[in-house]
């Protein structure tokens, strides 16, 4: 018998499939229809029906953001409350659309085992929210990688990877989707931050072109962590559903890149 949860706000019965969509949507800014279909193991038509049901209940917003692109969904405040999430409802930054779609594909790939066996995975959205709450309460950031600078309010600035993976080997790997080139100065700060953070064992950069790959590689070398930073070039067609094609990371290549030195392959 399917799981049914009555949400107080809408008196709407949530099934296990509904929760399987709302849970990941709480962790990401958006998911596009092909990603929801992959998540549930159903056709895109079935995924659309599921999203329309949740949209009608006010738990998600299901819209086409760009003409010709797949419809996308983002969770609402009632949707977050329905799954007991303390995160705030996400907003859509059109300039980050490709990146958000790409990170969701990487999350799905990691969930499917493309990066090896995992014991945990945390999105940048959750990391930033947890740290913001801790700092506002007078505590310290738990997740961010310090970049050695202070913000406008005198608090230390942090960098957050797109995903942080807890590998079964006991190591931690940061995953970065780099579709546009950062300045040399900014990239250098990030690499120095990773170099000084003993919590991160490896960093995997998936990059949009050869120029970005060279900048990442050179910055890592100058920071003295060239052996800890792995760079892979995305396929020319990019990320599916974002005018860059599906971030289809070759499973073997991705898993190989994240093998800790000296570990069994």
* Domain end marker among 92, 126, 143: 92
User: Are residues 32 and 75 located together in one domain of the fold?
Assistant: yes
Give the phi and the psi of residue 80 in degrees, each rounded to 5.
Answer: -65, -40
Q: Does residue 265 lie within any of the structural domains?
A: no
* Domain end marker among 58, 92, 126: 92
User: Are residues 240 and 217 located together in one domain of the fold?
Assistant: yes
Give the phi and the psi of residue 12 in degrees, each rounded to 5.
Answer: -100, 130
pLDDT the model gives residue 250: 39
pLDDT the model gives residue 61: 97
H/E stretch holding 71 reads: none
User: Are residues 189 and 223 located together in one domain of the fold?
Assistant: yes
User: Are residues 59 and 184 located together in one domain of the fold?
Assistant: no
Q: Does residue 20 lie within any of the structural domains?
A: yes
The token duo for 136 is 């506002």
pLDDT the model gives residue 109: 92
Q: Does residue 168 lie within any of the structural domains?
A: yes
pLDDT the model gives residue 3: 45
* Domain end marker among 52, 76, 92: 92
Which positions ≥6 away from 251 have C-beta within 8 Å? 109, 113, 114
* CATH number assigned to the domain comprising residue 86: 1.10.10.10
Q: Does residue 63 lie within any of the structural domains?
A: yes
User: Are residues 199 and 115 located together in one domain of the fold?
Assistant: yes
SS (H, E, C) 175-189: EEEECCCCCHHHHHH
User: Are residues 114 and 72 located together in one domain of the fold?
Assistant: no
User: Are residues 244 and 207 located together in one domain of the fold?
Assistant: yes
Walk along the chain (265 residues) and give the pLDDT tens digit of each residue. 344 444 444 457 899 999 999 999 999 999 999 999 999 999 999 999 999 999 999 999 999 998 888 999 999 999 999 999 999 999 989 999 999 999 999 999 999 999 999 999 999 999 999 998 888 888 888 888 866 544 455 566 789 999 999 999 999 999 999 999 899 999 999 999 999 998 999 999 999 899 999 999 999 999 999 999 999 998 766 566 655 333 344 344 444 445 444 333 2
pLDDT the model gives residue 134: 87
pTM of the model: 0.84
Q: DSSP H helical segments within the chain, as ranges? A: 16-27, 33-40, 44-56, 77-82, 97-111, 124-136, 184-195, 210-222, 251-257
Using an 8 Å Cβ cutoff, are 75 and 89 in contact?
Answer: yes
Using an 8 Å Cβ cutoff, are 247 and 213 in contact?
Answer: no
Q: Does residue 204 lie within any of the structural domains?
A: yes
User: Are residues 67 and 142 located together in one domain of the fold?
Assistant: no
> What residue numbers bound the domain in which 180 lies?
98-257
User: Are residues 52 and 128 located together in one domain of the fold?
Assistant: no
Other beta carbons within 10 angstroms of residue 188's beta carbon come to 18
User: Are residues 243 and 158 located together in one domain of the fold?
Assistant: yes
* CATH number assigned to the domain comprising residue 121: 3.40.1350
pLDDT the model gives residue 32: 96
Q: Does residue 157 lie within any of the structural domains?
A: yes
pLDDT the model gives residue 234: 87
User: Are residues 88 and 180 located together in one domain of the fold?
Assistant: no
Q: Does residue 236 lie within any of the structural domains?
A: yes
Using an 8 Å Cβ cutoff, are 206 and 103 in contact?
Answer: no
Q: Does residue 264 lie within any of the structural domains?
A: no
Domain count along the chain: 2
User: Are residues 119 and 182 located together in one domain of the fold?
Assistant: yes
């Amino acid at each position: 018998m399917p799981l049914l949860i009555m949400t107080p706000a809408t008196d709407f019965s949530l099934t296990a499939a509904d929760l399987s969509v709302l849970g990941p949507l709480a962790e990401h800014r958006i998911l596009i229809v092909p990603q929801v279909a992959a998540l549930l193991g159903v056709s895109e038509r079935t995924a659309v029906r599921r999203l329309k049901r949740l949209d009608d209940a006010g738990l998600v917003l299901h819209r086409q953001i760009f003409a010709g692109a797949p419809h996308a969904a983002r969770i609402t405040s009632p949707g977050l409350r329905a799954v007991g999430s303390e995160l705030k409802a996400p907003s859509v930054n059109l300039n980050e659309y490709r990146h958000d779609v790409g990170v969701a594909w990487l999350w799905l790939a990691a969930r499917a085992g493309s990066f090896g066996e995992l014991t945990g995975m945390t999105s940048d959205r959750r990391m930033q929210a947890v740290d913001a709450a801790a700092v506002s309460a007078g505590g310290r950031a738990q997740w961010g990688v310090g970049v050695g600078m202070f913000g406008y309010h005198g608090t230390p600035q942090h960098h957050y990877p797109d995903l942080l993976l807890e590998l079964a080997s006991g190591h931690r790997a940061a995953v970065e989707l780099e579709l546009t080139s950062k300045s040399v100065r900014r990239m250098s700060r990030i690499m120095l931050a990773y170099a000084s953070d003993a919590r991160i064992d490896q960093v995997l950069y998936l990059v949009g072109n050869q120029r970005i790959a060279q900048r990442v590689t050179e910055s890592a070398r100058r920071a003295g962590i060239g052996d800890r930073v792995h760079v892979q070039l995305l396929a020319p067609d990019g990320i599916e559903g974002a005018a860059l094609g599906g971030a289809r990371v070759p499973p073997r290549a991705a898993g190989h890149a994240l093998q800790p030195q000296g570990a069994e392959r």
